[in-house]
């Protein structure tokens, strides 16, 4: 039920869906209140978000800074474009690695589904060069685990 | 650069994943590939065509044989990135589940 799906749409977009056992109002709050965002938007194991600033109104700015125990870090800036509480958020973001990646337009919707919420997030797929940078910067912590899983899922299938 | 979409849908099929698993051990002919599957060679060939069009495998001609092997680059590049993203997002949303449960129990306490 809670399982996440991640699909590519053509060569340009990625669509992620996820069900949450809470109403859209709560899921929307968790995406727009800094004290809440700071608790979950951390990426792979081992990272914290010491700086979490966001101003949830059209044109409002966002700045997230992540750090890990070895002192590495990177940050993201974004601007909100449209907000329709509690149903929809449109924003544009870029990571600073430290050079900024191209703008990524992201649309996130929260629909009531049973007792909970179906979240759908549609984002722009970065090009090969940016993917390489993102892999090289700061994401190493999650990589080992994902390699292992990739091997288990794809390469170690018993035939 | 093969289409990311076709690579992803090619990977969604369990038989094709098993074929990739077999090819990870080394170059293999269609006949050898078909053996462990309860499938005809034409059926296996159809799967191979999907994998080839997605840029995940490469076939060469050697007489009447067409040995297949993994196309390392296509597979690694796309999958590394998508797996990195999937890992990061899965961890985030598992944490968000916990947070939503905490928010709910706090809301109930204060009522």
Domains of chain A: 19-155 (3.30.530.20)
- If residue A155 lies in a helix (H) or strand (E), which one and from where to where? none
ipTM surpassing 0.85, yes or no? no
Cβ contact A11–B100 (<8 Å): no
What is the DSSP code string of B37-88? Answer: TTS-HHHHHHHHHHHHHTTSEEE--BTTB--EEE-HHHHHHHHHHHHHHHHH
Q: Where are the alpha helices (DSSP H) in chain A?
A: 24-32, 34-40, 128-136, 140-150
pLDDT computed for residue A159 by the predictor? 35
pLDDT computed for residue A78 by the predictor? 97
pLDDT computed for residue B25 by the predictor? 81
Q: Which CATH class is domain B4-109?
A: mainly alpha
Give the start-to-end residue ranges of the domains of chain B: 4-109
Euclidean distance between CA atoms A145 and B105, whole angstroms: 32
A152 has a pLDDT exceeding 60: no
B88 CB within 8 Å of a chain A CB: yes
Interface with chain A: mutation pick from B38, B88, B92, B104, highest number of A CBs within 10 Å: B88
Confidence band (pLDDT; 50, 70, 90) for B67? confident
Quote the minimal CA–CA distance from A14 to chain B in Å: 9
Strand partners, A65: A51, A75
| Nearest residue, CB atoms, A45 vs list B18, B24, B91 | B91
Strand partners, A77: A63, A94
A60-113 pLDDT, tens digit each: 999 999 988 877 788 999 999 999 999 999 999 998 887 888 899 999 999 999
pTM of the model: 0.66
- The 3-state DSSP class for residue A99 equals coil
């Amino acid at each position: 039920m809670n399982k996440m799906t991640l699909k590519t749409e053509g060569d340009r977009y990625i669509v992620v869906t996820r069900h949450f056992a809470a109403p859209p109002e709560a899921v929307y709050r968790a995406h727009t209140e800094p004290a809440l965002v700071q608790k979950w938007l951390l990426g792979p194991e081992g990272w914290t978000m010491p700086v979490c600033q966001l101003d949830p109104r059209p044109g409002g700015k966002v700045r997230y800074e992540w750090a890990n125990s070895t002192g590495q870090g990177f940050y993201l800036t974004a601007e909100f474009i449209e907000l329709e509480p509690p149903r929809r958020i449109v924003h544009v973001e870029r990571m600073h690695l430290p050079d900024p990646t191209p703008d990524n337009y992201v649309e996130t919707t929260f629909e009531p589904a049973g007792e909970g919420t179906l979240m759908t997030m549609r984002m722009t797929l970065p090009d090969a060069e940016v993917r390489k940078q993102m892999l090289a910067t700061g994401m190493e912590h999650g990589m080992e685990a994902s390699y292992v899983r990739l091997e288990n899922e794809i390469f170690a299938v018993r035939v | 650069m093969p289409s990311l979409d076709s690579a992803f849908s090619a990977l969604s099929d369990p038989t094709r994943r098993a074929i990739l698993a077999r090819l990870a051990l080394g170059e293999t002919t269609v006949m050898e590939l078909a053996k462990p599957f309860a499938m005809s060679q034409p059926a296996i060939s159809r799967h191979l065509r999907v994998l080839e069009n997605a840029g995940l495998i490469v076939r060469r001609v050697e007489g009447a044989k067409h040995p297949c092997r993994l196309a390392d680059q296509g597979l690694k590049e796309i999958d590394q990135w998508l797996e990195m993203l999937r890992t990061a997002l899965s961890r985030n949303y598992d944490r968000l589940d916990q947070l939503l449960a905490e928010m709910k129990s706090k809301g109930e306490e204060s009522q």
